[in-house]
Amino acid sequence: MAQTWTVLKILQWTTDYFHDKGIESPRRDAELLLGASLGLDRVGLYLHFDRPLEESELSAYRALVVRRAKREPLQYILGETEFWSLPFCVSPAVLIPRPDTEVLVEESLRLAGGHRILDVGTGSGAIAVALAHELADAQVVALDISPDALAVAERNARRNSVEDRITFLQGDLAHLPAGPFDLIVSNPPYIPAADVEGLMPEVREFEPRQALVGGSDGLDPYRALARQASFCLVPGGWLLVEVGIYQASDVQRLFADAGLKEVFCRDDYGGVPRVVGARTGVVDRAV
């Protein structure tokens, strides 16, 4: 007699299986994948624990479980994630937005004195979309070298009804558009090349390498941004960047050496230095 798999039984089995595979949140991932298969949210699963699954449902679910067991990120499997309490489509063409990056959005909103904004390395468009969503009169230019990433970002702008206030440009961060901008914001590639092999499999094997690696020491993008900031920003305009662990002091020094002023660092909510900011010099109008 064939075994009957109920919602609860398959969740318990998958949780144990994912745990053995070293997956960080085995129960949550099992619930989200099964919910996606059955068209139920997590509450719906709990209300249907005793429901037996049909063979077609089991087959569809198993295919998702196999992908996650190979350490494919849950967000890529589901095709979406949340950032700044907004829905975002994601694919292997873009980095998965992280909650830590919301600190960069917070600082951007705090310091945005004007509304001409450049988002360098926009990826999924998470930062550009969040800023356009919060700043009703913002005009954002979202720059990325990858046409596939820009396609995802444009889709996310439409999904969040801000497509009329974001211009998408394909280009390299070594050649920024002239602007001038009131704010340049960036979460650039910052992983040192030698550190890639030590990353989690979800990142190392699946996220786009071009969006991860920032040169031999991880600082090449910050050098390029610091070098161009004064030419692209209005006097007194801000450059704000996300940084990796242990990079904040080096990036602050790069910004100061480039002649930028009021250099500062802000920690994320885990106490890790996460955002470095600086501004161009303010022109003395009395001179």
2 pLDDT band (50/70/90 cuts)?
low
| Same domain, residue pair 118 and 220 | yes
- Are residues 114 and 187 part of one domain? yes
Residue 150 is predicted with a pLDDT of: 98
> Using CA of residue 94, residue 198, residue 247, residue 273, what is the dihedral sign?
positive
Q: What is the distance between the alpha carbons of residues 248 and 204, in angstroms, rounded to a whole number?
A: 23
- Same domain assignment for residues 63 and 201: no
Model pLDDT for residues 161-171, shown as the tens digit of each residue: 999 999 999 99
Task: Categorize the per-residue pLDDT at 285 as very low, low, confident or very high, splitting at 50, 70 and 90.
Answer: very low
Phi, psi of 45 (to 5 degrees): -60, -45
104 and 65 part of one domain: no
Q: Which of 39, 70, 101 is the last residue of a domain?
A: 70
Tens digits of residue pLDDT in 220-234: 999 999 999 999 999
Of all helices (H) and strands (E), which one includes residue 176? none
**What range defines the domain where residue 37 resides?**
7-70
Q: Do 137 and 261 fall within a single domain?
A: yes
- CA–CA separation, 274 and 267 (whole Å): 5
Of 22, 46, 70, which marks where a domain is finished? 70
Q: What is the pLDDT of residues 43-55, one digit of tens each?
A: 899 898 999 999 9
Residues 232 and 264 placed together within one structural domain of the fold: yes
**Model pTM?**
0.91
Better-scored residue on pLDDT, 60 or 284: 60
Domain presence at residue 2: no
Q: What domain count does the chain have?
A: 2
What confidence category does residue 178 fall into, taking pLDDT thresholds of 50, 70 and 90?
confident
Q: Is residue 77 part of a domain?
A: no
Instruction: For the chain, give the percent of residues with pLDDT over 70.
Output: 98
Instruction: Based on the fold, state whether residues 153 and 250 are members of the same structural domain.
Output: yes
- Is the same domain home to 64 and 87? no
